[in-house]
Amino acid sequence: MKIVQIIFLFFLIVPFIEIYLLLQIGGIIGVLPTIFMVVFTAVLGAWLLRKQGMATLKRFQDSLNRGEIPAYEMIEGPILLVGGALLLTPGFFTDAMGFACLAAPLRRKIARYVIENNLIQTQAGSPFQAGSPFQSSKPDVIEGEYRKED
């Protein structure tokens, strides 16, 4: 199944799940408490997103200061972004998925899985790729100067 089909199914199925859960929970606890819970989870999610995002940014900067590639942090950033978007979307199912994205141990496991299985491809000329202009020259390269005389 292609990624486009998965995303299409996600956008098709998730609203039905959200409506079902909102109706069921609203029928059990009432309309106002349900609305309060949806707003509360959005506010709590925004606060947690800010806190987790700043911690990830600090780890990113610390890795750069040590001269290391901040691979985990570069993958955790988009996961945090998706988690924040899910938390701001009204509903209980998306809130559960958003809080799962904000959970540091789960986010770290997802990042490790992405790194170990090479799920992200680098482009040609990337500074992290062998033979890039940012790395030392290959042994078959002869350095010199060129001057054209007329």
Question: pLDDT tens for residues 116-148?
Answer: 887 666 555 555 555 544 455 456 777 788 788
Asked if pLDDT for residue 18 goes beyond 90, the answer is yes
- pLDDT tens sequence across 33-67: 999 999 999 899 889 999 999 999 999 999 999 98
The mean pLDDT value of the chain amounts to 84
**CB-based contact 101:107 (threshold 8 Å):** yes
SS3 for 133?
coil
Predicted TM-score (pTM) above 0.75: no
CA distance to 70, 107, 128, per residue, from 66 (Å) = 10, 23, 16
Residue 56 is classified by DSSP as H
Select from 147, 145, 15 the least CA-distant residue to 91. 15
Dihedral of the alpha carbons of 23, 39, 50, 56, in degrees to the nearest 10? -10
φ/ψ bin of 131: left (φ > 0), alpha (ψ from -120 to 50), beta (otherwise) = left
